[in-house]
């Protein structure tokens, strides 16, 4: 299945999952504080087939964005070999490799929904290195929790991004940032003070993605 835009992807996923409610209003301020009434997981509403983040990225590149190779925030063209192509839409903030590399970003950060899993917070007896040293966090949740792997690999929550934007946004929540600083040239993406303000024309898709994500997490503040 091919999609010409993230909007088409949204409508396709909406048809595939009748339980999902379409967001009826845009969140203009984008101060998302989502409170949940009980534990609901990806197995109940979202992805239940893809449990590999690597596989999800291959599907996105090779099928969903095959004929629409532009990044989400900055509308930068990219190639099939995962390179950001030169354009007037984006000016790198730094001179580093990630400014020219395509990456796949979780709109709702993996850190946000991952913390609802005890394996992420506390580790698990199965999460040990070859030398026997225990570990926790994303790698432990991925190793032990099937539901986390489903959430991490949910195509609906993944968008193509310039590597630099993905790296600088990190796990920051979306919010309004005073002023109009343009650190990335014509790309109206602002990242400052552990907050990120996306371009106005992307906020509807982001709001719908958070609405989608609200059906996956445990009752914690994912932001």
pLDDT in tens, 32-51: 323 222 233 333 468 999 99
Q: 81 burial class (0-12, 13-18, 19+ CB within 10 angstroms)?
A: exposed
pLDDT in tens, 112-166: 999 999 999 999 999 999 999 999 999 999 999 999 999 999 999 999 999 999 9
The confidence score (pLDDT) of residue 47 equals 92
Contact 196, 190 (CB under 8 A): yes
The confidence score (pLDDT) of residue 21 equals 37
């Amino acid at each position: 299945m091919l999609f010409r835009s993230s909007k088409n992807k949204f409508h396709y996923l909406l048809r595939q999952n009748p339980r999902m409610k379409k967001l009826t209003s845009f969140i203009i301020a984008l101060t998302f504080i989502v409170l949940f009434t009980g534990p609901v997981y990806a197995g109940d509403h979202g992805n239940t087939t893809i449990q590999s983040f690597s596989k999800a990225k291959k599907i996105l590149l090779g099928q969903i964005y095959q004929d629409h190779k532009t990044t989400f925030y900055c509308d930068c063209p990219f190639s099939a070999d995962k390179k950001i192509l030169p354009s007037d839409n984006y000016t790198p903030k730094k001179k580093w490799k990630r400014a020219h590399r395509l990456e796949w970003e979780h709109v709702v950060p993996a850190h946000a929904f991952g913390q609802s899993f005890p394996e992420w917070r506390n580790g698990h007896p199965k999460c040990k290195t070859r030398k026997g040293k225990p570990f926790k966090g994303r790698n432990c949740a991925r190793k032990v929790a099937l539901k986390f792997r489903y959430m991490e690999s949910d195509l609906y929550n993944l968008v193509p991004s310039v590597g630099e934007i993905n790296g600088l946004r990190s796990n920051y929540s979306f919010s309004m940032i005073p002023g109009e600083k343009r650190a990335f040239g014509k790309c109206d993406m602002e990242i400052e003070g552990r907050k990120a303000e996306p371009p106005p024309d992307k906020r509807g898709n982001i709001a719908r993605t958070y609405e989608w994500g609200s059906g996956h997490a445990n009752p914690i503040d994912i932001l």
